[in-house]
Amino acid sequence: MKRKKIRIFKIISTVFITLYLINCAGFYFTQEKHFFTPTKLAADHKFHFNGNFEELNFKTTDDFTLNSLLFRVDNPKGLVFYLHGSGGSLASLAEGADVYIQLGYNVFMMDYRGFGKSGGDITSEQQLYEDNQMLYDELKKTYAEEDIIVVGYSLGAAMAAKLASTNNPKLLILKAPFYNFNEAISQNVKLLSKFFPLSILNKYGFNNNQFIQKCKMPVLIFHGTNDKINQYSSSLELKKLFKPEDDLILLEGEGHDSISNNLQFQKELKTLLGD
């Protein structure tokens, strides 16, 4: 009887371990579906926005098309290179360009692979960085780097910080960043972090904490104190890594999704970028 119980225990343990490993493998190979929530747009989709804008397409090194928008103003002070968050598409997200346009800046926004009208799929962190660098290099053909401001929101904040850390734009602005991606997952998907060894399985680091320490330009972070997605404690931790000229501005009572409409944000931005 005792041997039989041991044998049953071994069988159950083997089944459990096998299922766990299968789930780990499943998470590893499908994690992009958990982390990125793009909205697809038809190839013939027409964008409708107020003001002067142009739709631009760029080829990646592996021959996929990245779709982008360039909003223009008369006599621009410079260019805002804007990197959006982990969901949606330019059709809904490009409204965030308005605040910079009103301050006299041209604004460049793009959809990552698999988002909107952009082709391909996201398969690695490095791939995203290479795409962003390619676009940045294209824009430097028209704009002096000292006239470029890199802005990133949420997940896009990590890509903006990485881009700024290996280039020399005038300024880096991060909206609602996380400290790094493992921390963000632990905050938002506690079940994943509880049952899966994310430090081993997660292919994406998005290490804001490392990137901002390599940024030579001033870094400015805006974060709402009522952010339920990326808690503002992340920005308080990032603040510990600041240079003397960097700054964190907490937006009292603000959440995650509507920072661009926050009056304090608009006022601070006008002070920084206005005449």
Q: What pLDDT sits at residue 70?
A: 97
- Enter the tokens of residue 117: 């009208």
Q: What pLDDT sits at residue 256?
A: 94
Average pLDDT over residues 99-122: 96
* CA–CA gap between residue 132 and residue 160 (Å, rounded): 9
Confidence band for 50, pLDDT divided at 50, 70 and 90: confident
Per the DSSP assignment, residues forming a β-bridge with 173 are 151, 220
Percent of the chain predicted with pLDDT > 70: 84
Q: How many CB atoms lie within 10 A of CB 269?
A: 21
Whether residue 14 has pLDDT greater than 70: no
* CA–CA gap between residue 147 and residue 81 (Å, rounded): 10
First-last CA distance in the chain: 85
DSSP string, the chain: -HHHHHHHHHHHHHHHHHHHHHHHHHHHHHHHHHH-EEPB--TT-----SSEEEEEEEE-TTS-EEEEEEEE-SS-S-EEEEE--SEE-HHHHGGGGHHHHTTT-EEEEEPPTTSBT--S----HHHHHHHHHHHHHHHTTTS-GGGEEEEEETHHHHHHHHHHHTS--SEEEEES--S-HHHHHHHH-HHHHHHS-HHHH------HHHHGGG--S-EEEEEETT-SSS-THHHHHHHTT--TT-EEEEETT--SS-GGG-HHHHHHHHHHH--
Q: What pLDDT sits at residue 22?
A: 58
pTM of the model: 0.89
* CA–CA gap between residue 96 and residue 82 (Å, rounded): 9
Which is higher by pLDDT, 251 or 202? Answer: 251
CB of 72 within 8 A of CB of 54? yes
- Enter the tokens of residue 242: 């600041």
* CA–CA gap between residue 16 and residue 21 (Å, rounded): 9
Nearest to 181 by CA among 215, 112, 230, 110: 230
Q: What pLDDT sits at residue 174?
A: 98
Q: What pLDDT sits at residue 31?
A: 74
Confidence band for 203, pLDDT divided at 50, 70 and 90: confident
Q: What pLDDT sits at residue 8?
A: 62
* CA–CA gap between residue 180 and residue 168 (Å, rounded): 22
Which DSSP state fits 168?
Answer: -
Whether residue 121 has pLDDT greater than 90: yes
